[in-house]
Amino acid sequence: MAELRLRSIAFSIAVLAFSLRAQTNVAVIPLDAKGVSEIEASVLTERLALELFRTGRFTVLERGKMEEILIEQDFQLTGCVSEECLVEVGQLLGVEQMMAGSVSRIGNTYSVILRLISAETGAIVQVASYDQKGAIDELLSAGMRVVALSIAGEPVEAAKPSIAATDRDTESSSQEGHLYVFPRLGLGFSNEGDVGLSWGGQVGYGNESWGKVYIDILMINIYDGFNLLGLYELKRGPLFWQLGLGYVSTFFHYYGDAEDSGIDGLGDGFGARIGFGYNYALGEYTMIRPALELNLGFKEYQSNFTINLNFGFKTPNLR
């Protein structure tokens, strides 16, 4: 029994020693920044080193230790991108392989390209790349993991395309939509040039495939202005347009002097709305929407326009 236990322990030690020997010593060179800031490239480099270590295939030289060695050798990494230079750095650092590459941005697409290079021969051992549309945040959270697994020869699941928060409901099917609730606050202007507080809100339903419909209530604190409309909204990127019909109240029109005064121009009735604004996402389901809205009345003194800040949220998809 004791002999069997000793053999088991010896086997475990051998397996552990083999796994340690199987790891490759690697140094990660700071990613070359192209169209991104040096700080962003530095953060992505650190995340890459962490993800390489997590694969279990690499022993990663700590960045501070790497800089200390290069300072002692009076060696500058700036501009060191060729295989010959990387081989020289690898030999100074005493590692088997060097990881080098770049992170770049073109338009709204970020790209990471990596090369794993033998520090002995300068031969390229492995390459990997990753493209990310949208925010650079997801390049940090998902992209570095993907390229590290690819370099390590591990299976990588296909990355789901990134979708900006403002456009996530574009994936909704024609049977799905969101409920939208937007309170508002702003300034209202009468056709007489008077200015007052405007407030109210919109409640609607829809998605990006077929648009959104709203019930809109607008109060303007100039002579008790009140509008109640049905709206249809179209959206292209962060911009949106709203068209609608409904009840548009009259602004009271005062006239007179010390001898003669009165009220005229009453014109409650149907009117139209043309609105234009910008949708800014604060998160996946919250947003603010500055907007300019023109209410066109069919009667005299009935028209007005407002500058409003709409703020609110949408729910997850509803059927």
Measured CA to CA in angstroms, residue 195 lies from 76, 198, 223, 269 at distances of: 64, 9, 10, 22
Which CATH number do you get for residue 41? 3.40.50.10070
What is the domain range of residue 100? Answer: 22-151
Whether residues 129 and 173 fall in one domain? no
Task: State the number of CA atoms in the 13 A half-sphere of 92 facing the CB.
Answer: 19
8 lies in a domain?
no
234 lies in a domain?
yes
Which CATH number do you get for residue 224? 2.40.160.20
User: Against a cut of 0.75, is the pTM above it?
Assistant: no
User: Is 218 exposed, middle or buried, given 0-12, 13-18 or 19+ CB atoms closer than 10 A?
Assistant: buried
10 lies in a domain?
no
303 lies in a domain?
yes
15 lies in a domain?
no
Whether residues 176 and 226 fall in one domain? yes
Provide the pLDDT for residue 221: 78
Give the count of domains, the chain: 2
Provide the pLDDT for residue 104: 93
Q: In this structure, which amino acid lies at residue 48? A: L
Identify the segments of the chain with pLDDT beneath 50.
1-2, 4, 6, 9-21, 159-174, 258, 260-265
Provide the pLDDT for residue 215: 93
Whether residues 173 and 308 fall in one domain? yes
Alpha-carbon torsion 184, 185, 186, 187, what sign?
positive
Provide the pLDDT for residue 265: 47
Whether residues 60 and 123 fall in one domain? yes
158 lies in a domain?
no
Q: In this structure, which amino acid lies at residue 56? A: G
Provide the pLDDT for residue 267: 56
Whether residues 144 and 174 fall in one domain? no
Whether residues 146 and 231 fall in one domain? no
